[in-house]
Structures are given as structure tokens and as C-alpha cells.
Structure 1
């Protein structure tokens, strides 16, 4: 902190030396410098200003003007001193003018010369049919972060002396002992609570893929947190121990395989006299939340337990720069410009658990034209390496359009679609969404064909929703790549179980000695609402090979004749 403040006050120090040398005043200029320095130190300590050279120049410009003006008005000088001090005035004026020109030039350079930033992004282009696939029996992220926060807050009574603490809004996706989990930090409720508590007793962890998972409070006390004050503030501690590095965004909490908490923050070095980011030179600060020890690693050499060395803030900036600056700043026709929709749960990105044990950030891109809801493609950023894979897409709706379509089906219940993620289901780009009620409780899952909003499937579990969606694909006659062949069969049997899904105008049932789940559209066969177990039925059904789903046609219930 002292070093950074000193760098911000080089010009005031030089002015003070000149005043002391050329005037009879000694104590006053030194006292004024001390006041300016202390004020600058307070600003540095609490605001954590950038250590970029341009920012330091701007700081010298501001503090230099303040010190010069204060000295001019508070000092009394003789005619002889006035003649001598003209040299100081001239030097100060030239210095301030040079700093202003350099600062303006650096700012314009940062703003106008952005193609090198785009070139520094580690990026790969791919076709939409090579995008991540989704198979039956696999589970997407079952818990939306809103749901996680809601459940953790209900479990906050597990925290000892819970009146001193609050639940963070930060939900950290991570693989813990090879299992996908969410980690939720506990924070101090305020300054006086921190002084009373002295440390945070632990954090919460919850299974990310179990629909009915309950949060567990892990007793691993830590003193450093983003809600702490003074030297216990996690961001300030990292700032103090990374003097030549710049940060973007807040630290995120991750845990190692023993459950020990660490604060992780992505760092970068901007170019000289520029605010541009070089994504090839990202590093990671890892701070032990218990001891405050800070270590800095390159992206390639950071500890294995860190899943999101690229924090959400950096990922969001990556997406913005990738979509905006392919053809540089002087692209007045806006050729190739894409805008991330920002429908993520944090910093415009959504964390996705991959099959290989890694985590990616998902974001879809749309055109900058007002009112458009078409997606141009989407990115998956590897949260550990920073590599951005962009999947091109044509004639599909963006995440805003997908959520709006899903919300239309739940107007009466006032449920909302959350966390739209685009998967490749049977070679079809498909929006997978979680449906939440007003309390953030999960009400079901919604699969929507990204190219045809009339094709969708819903269910109370990911698997049932996927089966319903695949059946809808078969019924629509959509061109699909890896859906098993469906055949129309005549079926007779005795009803075993029945479920009426009133809000979707359908009845689902099974037959005795059969594992196939049949679906009847009650808009076509309204009497199916009256079907009961042990009824004798006959019908035709589109049955998908190797799948336990069948869509019913020409339905008859012998017991209702």
C-alpha cells in the first residue's frame, strides 16, 4: 500500500522539493505533502486503485494539481522568491501538461487499438453439431443458483452464532472429490459483527446435481473474506501481495480436497501505458482464507483443485471482447459484431459441469440489432485454461427467446425459466432450462428445440423431460441425427398406473407387465382424463426403439364405453 501510494505521489514530492529549495518555507510544504500523502494512502487502502502505469500517471496528475494549488494559496512569498519560484511553476506546468498528454494518449490507445486484445484470446471455432451432447440418464445442473441460495439461507441456523453472519450471493461451482458441487461462502453481517465474531466458522456445500439435495455446513473457520474489513478483506490482502499485478472482479471461494477454503482471483498485466488486457498472460492469485498467505501462479501451473482459475468476471470480459473486436475498433459497419446476452447467473456467464471433470462457462451471442431474438452461436470457456470454444449456429432463438417461450406455458402458475443452456440433443440444438416458482423451488425442467419453438418437452425430472422432448421430436418429423427409430404399433393391455398432467393437457400411464410410459393428449381424447388403473385400453402409439416412451394415437378405453 505504501509503495503504491508513493508511486501516485511522485509529482507532489518533486513540487515539494522545488518549493523547499527555492523559498524560505520548509515546514509548510512538507506538512502539506504529508496531508496529501495520507489522503492518498486512505484512498489507496479503501478503494484499491489500479496499479497500471496509466492510472498512476492520472493519480500524479490529480495529486500534483491539488498539491500545487494548496501550496500556492497557503504560502506567502517575497518578490525575490516569486522570481525564483517561476521556474517551479514552469516545470510544474510542463510536467502536468506532459502527464495530461501521455494519459490522454494512453487512454485513446487503449480504447481505439483493441485488435491485439482479440488476438490474445485463446479461441477455437466449431460447428453446432459438434457441441456438447446430452444423453438419457445424464443429469444437467439440477439446482439453479437461486435455488441453492434459498436452501442455504434456510439452513443458516446451522451456523454457530448465526446472528453475526449472512449468506453470500456467490455460488461457486466446483468438483469436490470428483463430484459436482456448489460452494457457498458465509460472510460477516457487518463491521461490528466481524469485531465480535473474529472469524467465520465455515461455509456451505451442496450437491449440484441432486434435485432434492440439502446443504451441509462445513466447519472450517476462516478469517479472510470479501465482506471483512481492513487487512482481513480478501481482495485487499491479495492486492497487497500482488504489487505488479492487476485484478478484474472479486475473489471467488474454492476448496481443496480436504475442504480447506481458498480465495481465488484472476490477475493480469496490462501493456505499458495502456489498459488493454493480454489474455495470453493471465495469472491466478490463490489466498489461504485461514492464514492469508497469497501465492501467484500462471494459469498452466496453478493447483489442481482449482476449477475456476478464470473467474466469472474475466470470462464475461472475454466474451465481450471476443464478440466486439474481431475487426478492431474502426469497424463502423459493425461487421461480425456479436453481443453476449448476459443471461448467466453471475457476471453474464453460467457455470456448466462437463463429463471430463472440468467446468465451462456458457454464454450465447445475439446480434446487436434491437428486438432480435436470434442466436448467432454460443461460447464455452474452459474455466481452468481460459480457452474459448465458439459454436456457430443458424436460425435458432437466443436464450431470451427460449425463456420467454417457456414462461408462456407457466403463466397461470407464475413460474419462470432459469439457467438456459444450449445442448446438442439428437443433433438438434436444444435449450435446457430449469423451471422455478416464486420461492426459487424447482418445479420441473423444460427442453425446447432452438430452431422450432413448437417442439418441446417438460417433466419433473431431467430424464422425464428429455424423454418427452425426444418423443416430441419424433412426432414433429424433425430431422434428427441420433434419435432411435420410432415405429407405430397397435397396443392392447390393462392400465397399471395413471398420472394426469392437467397444466399440459396430457395423461401419462403404464400398462401391466410393461415398462413403457405412454402419453395421451387430452385435447384429442378428453375422456382419457377419466382413465383409472385396471381399465382395458387399446390404442396405437409411436414407440421409440430402446426408449421407454410412446405417444398415443387412436385411443380407446373399453371401460368407458
Structure 2
């Protein structure tokens, strides 16, 4: 902090020396003494400002500080010395003013570069676009559907009696991570105000942890006294402690540190940081770093995203992921387009990302995008941001509802009970983009899952657990005549035989063929848009096809279809 204060007062000191040099010999002592008191007063204010605001040691920040404090000191020196001396101050004032004008140009240019070079910010995000058919798949027993954080917080709050002197504390933010290979939620116990901080001897007693996928899971309180937390005061505050060790690193998107625990259960606060260009604050998302502070000992470590310890699952904090989505959706064509023509602009439907657990054992942040100029509940696409690497995958969609539309649909089905949906996430189920939502009652207790076809709100299903809900939804797809493809856990098989039953069903404006083969009870679905001749199929026709067949289920989704009777 001393380093930053000294570098921030180069301009005020030079201005003071200039006044001393041009003062009359009779007035020089007065100029030195009074100027010193002015500088001492300004330094005290700077110390308070630095301690509270934690300004960066970035060169642009230091130049900006010199501009501000230089202007204040010039005004103070001028009016004080004009009233107490007979010296001519014009030459010194003009010279100092010219120097400050140069700083205005440099700092103004740097701030303008930071604000207007948004296209470069968007391009720094490691991203790729793929079809919605390549979206994450829901694999029963492998890809879990997590509990809603609202439910988790409700359960943890009910167990606050396990916390020693619980009247001093409240529950902090819920975080997702893997612990010993299993998806969990954790939440710190935080101080309930300054006086409680003093009463608790400046340490919190520990944190809660809970299985993220079991609907019957109960939270466990882990006793681990933490000194450096987000809720601590003075030098024990996690962000201030990080700043003391790494003042040259900027906090990414004004985010706060997040709690994570290593495989031994030791708690850490994780902050996403970056180093900008010398005369800019522009963030480069491809060069983010992570600072981890041990919440018990205060030891800090700096890591690049490529060299994160294996236990850090969210090197990219959720706050940073929110800004990444905004930058990706709004900044692709530059600042003018963002504010004027708005061509290609899309915005996240909700301001906060949703943490999900993928099949590879990593945390992914989900959000969907919508059109900022439309009131329709349609989604333009959705993204998954890898919380360890920061890579963003954007899934292009067409004709599907956004998360608000999915929540409204689910809520309407529970009007009588007054239950509400939560945590909408899209998975690919039987090749169909499908909204998966948790249903909560008025106390945020979990009541079940709700699955809805993102392109057809008439197709939906419920279940008390994830497996039951996905089975019911797959059956709903079959009943509606929906064709599908890349079902996770299904195998592509070549089939042939004689059609024993055949029926044409209509879904919206699309027709599909449902058929069975002699000697098999599997119901196969063929999309009429993909294979128009399939709609002419009759009982007794001989066919050959390739179909995805769901293991242990009598469901088959046809990818290739030939009716040999129609050749």
C-alpha cells in the first residue's frame, strides 16, 4: 500500500517543489511549511481511500491518482499561497496546469480505450459455436441433475443450530464444486455484522457441505476456524488480504472471492484476476489468473488457468462468468453497434449463471440468451462456460423457448399448490433440447423435477427424482411422435424386418411415423420431415433402418430409413 501511495503523489510533490522554487526568498519558508501540511493532509486522505477502495497498481490507475491529487494540491497551493505571500504564482500555476493537462489526455485516452475497445474484450473469450444437437446430454446415473441452491440454502439454514454460537453468524453464498470426485455444494458461515465479528474473536467456525445430487441429502457442518473470509473486517478480509500481496493484479469484473475446499477439506477463497495493458483497464479473458488465499493461515498463491491445482473447480468465479456472457452477446461487433444499430446483439435472459456438473467431472456455468428488442420468450441460444478453463461453448438454437418461458410453463402447472420452478438448465434428451427444472414449495423444499421440450411446451413430464422424470419425459416424446437422435446411453443399431404396426401422428406442423417390427416390442419413431416416404409405410412392409435404441427401454429413434416396398 505504501508503494501505491508514494507513486500516487509524484504530481503533488512536483507541484509543491515548483511553488517552493518560484517563491520569494522571504516567503519560501512559509511555502515549505504550509505546503508540507497540505501534502500530509492529502496523504492521510489517500491512505484512507486506498484502504477502503483498494486501487490497483496498474500504471493507468497510478496516473489517474496523480491527476486527481495533483489537481487538488494545485488548487490548495494556489489559493493558500496567493493569500499568504506576495509571490507571483502565474508561471508555476501555468506550468503545473500544463502538466496536469498532459495527464488528462493520457488518462482520458486510457479510460476511453478501456470503455470503447469492447470488441477486443469479446474476442479475447475462448469460444466456439456448435449446433444445439451437440449440446450436453443427460446420461442417467452419470450426469446428475443438481439440487436447486435455494433448496440447499433452506436445508443448511435449518442446520445452523450445529454451529457453535450460531447467533453470531449467518449462511454465506452457495458454491458448486467436486469433492473427492463427487458433486457437492458448500457454503461458508459468515459474521452477522461488525460487533458479532468482535464477539466471535474474528474467526468463523467453519462451513457446510452437502451432496449436490441426492434429493434426500442432509448438510454436514465442517468445523474449520477461518480467519480470512469475505465477511471479515480490516486486514482479515479475504479480498483485502489478496490485495496486500498482489496489488498489481486487477480484480476481474469487480467480482468477490468464492469459497472452495481442497481434498483435505481446507477452505480457500478464490479470486479471478488479470493484468491489463499499461495504459488501459481492458480485460483479456484469455489471460486470466487465479489467486487463492488459505482461509485458515492467510497464505496466498497465484496460478494461471493452465496450472490450477486439481481441487480448484471454479477458477472462473460466477460473477466473472456473468460478465463473460454479457461481453460475448453484446460486444462482438463493437461499441457503436452495441449502442446504435444493435445488429446481432443478444443478452443473457437472467443476470446470474447457473452452476451445473458435467459428465467429465467439471463445473459448467449455464445461461441462455434472448433478443433484447423482443418480448417473446424465445431463446437465440445458450452457453456453457467451463469454470476451470474459461472456455465458452455457444449452442445455436432455433424455435425454442427461453428460461423465463420454461419457468412460466412449469409454474402454471403448479398454480393450485403455489409451487415455483427454479434452476432451469437445458440438456439434450433423446436429441431434443429439453428444459430441466426443479420444483420448490413456498419454503424452498424440493418437490420434484419438471422436464419440458424446449421447442414444444405441450410435451412435458414430471418425476420425484431425476431418473423417474427422464423416463417419463422420454415416454412423453414417444407419445407425441417426436423423432430424436443422440440419446446419451443409446446405441446406434441397424435394424430390418417386417412392419407389424404403423401409425402416423401429428405434432404441431410435423408428422411422424411410429412403427414396430415383427418379433419386437420396441416402438420406433421416424421424422416425416427427414423421410417423407416413411409416412407411406403400411403394415407388412419390409424396412431397413438405423436407429438409436435406449438401453432397457422400448424406444428407438430412427436416423436412416428405407422402405424396400417403396423402391
TM bucket, shorter chain: 0.7 to 0.9
Matches within 5 A, 1:353-368: 353-368=357-372
Task: Work out whether 1:29 is the aligned partner of 2:35.
Answer: yes
2:324 to 318, 328, 331: 318
Aligned equivalent of 2:513? none
**Quick one: which of 410, 418, 421 aligns to 2:422?**
418
Q: CA deviation at 1:7?
A: 2.7
Residues 373-522 of structure 1 aligned to structure 2 (within 5 Å): 373-481=377-485
Aligned match of 1:95 in 95, 99, 103?
99
Q: CA deviation at 1:10?
A: 2.3
The C-alpha deviation readout for 1:210-265, integer Å capped at 9, x for no partner, is 10111111011110111111100000001111121100300001111000011110
Q: CA deviation at 1:472?
A: 1.1
Provide, for residues 408-435 of structure 1, a one-character-per-residue CA deviation record: whole Å limited to 9, x for no partner: 1111221111110000000000000001
What do you get for the CA RMSD once the two structures are aligned? 2.3
Selected match of 1:230 from 234, 238, 261: 234
Q: 1:157 aligns with which of 133, 156, 161?
A: 161
d(CA) in 2 for partners of 1:311, 1:196: 31
1:105-116 equivalences in 2 (<5 Å): 105-116=109-120
Pick closer, same or farther for the CA change 1:73–1:409 going to 2, 3 Å. same
SS at match of 2:449: strand
Correspondence 1:191 to 2:191: no
Structure 1: distance between partners of 2:45 and 2:56: 17
Cα distance change on mapping 1:181 and 1:369 into 2, 3 Å: same
Among candidates 144, 147, 155, match of residue 140 of structure 1: 144
Using structure 2 for the length normalisation, give the TM-score.
0.82
- Map of 1:502 onto structure 2: none
Deviation, structure 1 residue 110: 2.2
Give the whole-Å Cα distance in 2 for the aligned partners of 1:340 and 1:132.
19
- Corresponding position of 2:507: none
**1:232 and 1:112, CA in 2 relative to 1: closer, same or farther beyond 3 A?**
same
Alpha-carbon shift at residue 77 of structure 1 (Å) = 5.5
Select the residue among 339, 351, 367 that pairs with 2:347.
339
CA distance, structure 2, for counterparts of residue 78 and residue 196 of structure 1: 52
Determine the structure 1 residue equivalent to 2:174.
171
Paired position in structure 2 for 1:262: 268
- Alignment partner for residue 216 of structure 1, among 220, 229, 232? 220
Corresponding residue to 2:282 among 265, 276, 279: 276
Contact 1:271 1:278 (8 Å CA) reproduced:
no
1:264, 1:284 within 8 Å by CA — same for their partners in 2? yes
Residues 47-126 of structure 1 aligned to structure 2 (within 5 Å): 47-76=53-82, 81-82=87-88, 85-126=89-130
Tell me how far apart the structure 1 counterparts of residues 370 and 220 of structure 2 sit (CA, whole Å).
Answer: 39
Question: What is the distance in 2 between the residues matched to 1:113 and 1:401?
Answer: 34
Q: Does the 8 Å CA contact 2:147/2:214 hold for their aligned counterparts? A: yes
Q: CA deviation at 1:56?
A: 2.8
Whether the 8 Å contact between 1:139 and 1:463 is mirrored in structure 2 is no
CA 1:487 to 1:162, structure 2 compared with 1: closer, same or farther past 3 Å?
Answer: farther
1:334-377 CA deviation, whole Å, 9 max, x = no partner?
A: 2222111126xxxx111111121111111111112130321111
CA distance, structure 1, for counterparts of residue 114 and residue 405 of structure 2:
35
Q: Classify the secondary structure of the residue corresponding to 1:20.
A: helix
CA distance in 1 between partners of 2:84 and 2:353 (Å): 64
More moved, 35-44 vs 270-279: 270-279
Pair 123,243 (structure 1): closer, same or farther in 2 beyond 3 Å:
same
Aligned CA distance change for structure 1 residues 545 and 270 (closer, same or farther; 3 Å): closer
Contact 2:437 2:451 in 1 (8 A): yes
Worse-matched range after superposition: 474-483 or 385-394:
474-483
Query: 5+ residue gaps in structure 1?
Result: 490-543, 550-561
Judging changes above 3 Å, is the alpha-carbon distance between structure 1 residues 197 and 427 closer, same or farther for their aligned structure 2 residues? same
Counterpart position of 1:44: 50
1:156-211 CA distances to partner (integer Å, 9 max, x unpaired)?
Answer: 1111111221111x111111011111110111112122222221111111110010
Gap regions ≥5 residues in structure 2: 503-549, 556-567
Partner Cα separation in structure 2 for residue 429 and residue 158 of structure 1: 42
Distance 1:545 1:259, change over 3 A: closer
The 3-state SS of whatever aligns with 1:219 is strand
Structure 1 residues 22 and 353: CA distance shift in structure 2, 3 A: same
Equivalent residues, number: 489
| Distance in 2 between residues matched to 1:258 and 1:31, nearest whole Å | 54
Deviation for aligned residue 1:488: 8.1
Q: What is the TM-score of this pair, normalised by structure 1? A: 0.83
Separation of aligned partners in 2, 1:157 and 1:241: 36
Rate the CA distance shift 1:391–1:69 in 2: closer, same or farther, 3 A: same
